[in-house]
Structure 1
């Protein structure tokens, strides 16, 4: 993997494994983890106003070391400008939808760690439709943005096996660095 970077964006379809990957990566690297869902949503699934959301994101990524988990395409350029690495999950939409079902069944009426208080997991048919259409809509816009971001390190995962392999490689690199220091 060789130097994953210090300002990392993790994007892709809901249910693709972004948050799980981001959490593992933060644990290994020690980089600050920012879950955009946790920052955007307010108690009771109330959205943050656009102007406030832009300001909040600029503040969140003002540091030199972070991992940002989430898409939010309308403000992605703010993060993309500062990121040195973009990790993009391009998994099959059926896999993502099945993962969403599993997540809802496992966490129904509970608040996940990557969500704010007052936003319990629930079945959401509009969200399921969003996941199903993601590759042709938001996913394609993500790809288009990445194609013009030649100055960034871009890593694309087509399946979870690739993501898991990446985590193992990064973990080994950090272990080697620690062994050299001690």
Structure 2
């Protein structure tokens, strides 16, 4: 295992930043199970899972000795964040994330890719008030502030803050190569910047 200090990892970032892709890659590199909170939250027909059920999933998964989980859900952070040892924050600029999100959403619609539990992106909801694109505009800047606040409340966590897809790719390559001294990236809060 490239780094024994990264055993319980949460990957956060705004909608469309690539949380699931990176979390899956981390799980493979570190030999840890991966879970996506969206899969627990979105029942068939885009019905939201009951709170108790969602929290039970998070509780069971994070009770393991090692794991990688992605998602920004606040409704079980009191369970997962205290158990984590590392947060990887994909803190990309709005233009980068929106471009990636739009490309991903259109591809999913075109290919009819199943996301979770039979759910698929639909053309009818692309620009709807509760659609993914409007969700991005409502949450991207708020999440950056909220993430800083949450990280300040959890000083036990090692935080890797990655500011571009290229930086993320370089960091992952160093991790795969077992370069333990360089995997921390931009640590919070010493180099938190803007």
TM above 0.5:
yes
Q: Which runs of 5+ in 1 are unaligned?
A: 175-182
The residue aligned with 2:100 is: 99
1:117 deviation in Å?
Answer: 2.7
1:110 to 110, 113, 121: 113
Report if the CA contact (8 A) 1:18-1:69 is conserved. Answer: yes
More relative contact order, 1 or 2 (CA 8 Å, 6+ apart): 1
Offset from partner CA, 1:116-173 (integer Å, 9 cap, x none): 2311123533321221232332332121010121111111011111111111011001
Give the SS at the match of 1:173.
Answer: coil
The residue aligned with 1:133 is: 138
TM-score by length of 1: 0.86
The residue aligned with 2:17 is: 16
Q: Which moved more, 1:71-80 or 1:129-138?
A: 129-138
- Residues of 2 paired with 1:28 and 1:166: CA distance? 12
1:156 to 147, 158, 161: 161
- Give the CA RMSD over aligned residues: 1.8
The residue aligned with 1:177 is: none
TM-score by length of 2: 0.81
Q: List, as ranges, runs of 4+ consecutive aligned residues in structure 1 with deviation greater than 4 Å.
A: 1-4
Q: Which runs of 5+ in 2 are unaligned?
A: 180-194
Number of residue pairs matched?
A: 171
